[in-house]
Chain A
Amino acid sequence: MEQNMKNSSVKVADTLILGGGIAGLEAALNLANTGHQVVIVEKDLSIGGRMIHLSKVFPTLDCSACITTPKVSEASRHPGIHIQVNTGAKKLAFDAKGHWHVHVQTEPRFVNESLCTGCQDCERACPVVVKDEYQYNLVGRKVAYIPFSIASPRIAAIDIENCILCGACEKACVPGAIDFSQEPVQTEWIVKSVIIASGFTLFDPDQIERYGGGKFKNVVTAMQMERQLVPTRPFNTVLRPGDGKIPDKVAYVLCAGSRDGTVGNPICSQICCMYSIKQAQLILGALPMADVTVYYLHIRSFGKGFDEFYQQAKKMDVSFIKGKIGKISELENGDLMLRYEDIASGKIKEAKHDMVVLSVGILANRDIEKISGLENLELDPFHYLKQRQEMSNPFKTNLPGIFMAGTASGPMDIPDSILSAGAVSAMVTKYNKGFVESIINSLTISSWNE
Chain B
Amino acid sequence: MAGKTIEIIKTKRKVPEALRQRHKEYLGLRKKIREALADGEATIPQISQKTGIPADQVVFLVMTLRKYDEIVAGDMDDMDEYYYYKLSEK
Contacts and interface: CB of A to CB of B under 8 A. Distances in A.
Interface residues of A, number: 40
Contact of A241 (B56, B61, B64): B56
Interface in A241-255: 241-246
A284 interface: no
Contacts, number: 105
B63 A235 contact: yes
Interface in A26-84: none
A234 B63 contact: yes
Contacts of B20: 164
A171 B1 CA distance: 10
Nearest to B64: A140
Q: Is the interface on chain B under 10, 10 to 19, 20 to 34, or 35 or more residues?
A: 35 or more
Contacts of A289: 80
B64 A245 contact: no
Given A164-B23, A165-B15, A234-B63, A244 B83 contact: yes
Contact of B59 (A141, A142, A242): A242
Interface in B1-34: 1-6, 8-10, 13, 15, 19-20, 23, 26-27
Contacts of A124: 68
Nearest to B81: A245
B60 A244 contact: no
Nearest to A240: B59
B58 interface: yes
A237 B81 CA distance: 12
Given A241-B56, A246-B76, A170 B6 contact: yes
Interface stretch (A175-183, A197-205, A414-422): A175-183
Interface on chain A toward B: helix, strand, loop, or mixed SS?
loop
A234 to B, nearest CB: 6
B6 A244 contact: no
A138 interface: yes
Contact of B1 (A141, A164, A179): A179
A173 interface: yes
B26 A129 contact: yes
A181 B19 contact: no
Q: Which of B13, B60, B63 has the most CB of A within 10 A?
A: B63
B37 interface: no
B58 A244 contact: yes
A313 B9 CA distance: 55
Q: Which of A240, A242, A244 has the most CB of B within 10 A?
A: A244
User: Which A-B residue pairs are the 8 nearest by beta carbons?
Assistant: A244-B44, A140-B64, A167-B6, A176-B2, A180-B9, A180-B5, A243-B55, A217-B56
Interface of B: 1-6, 8-10, 13, 15, 19-20, 23, 26-27, 43-45, 48, 55-56, 58-64, 66-68, 73, 76, 80-83
Given A181-B9, A244-B45, A245-B44, 10 more contacts: A128-B23, A139-B63, A160-B9, A164-B15, A165-B6, A165-B10, A235-B59, A239-B59, A242-B56, A243-B44
Interface of A: 110, 124, 127-129, 138-142, 160, 162-167, 170-171, 173, 176, 178-181, 217, 234-237, 239-246, 289, 334
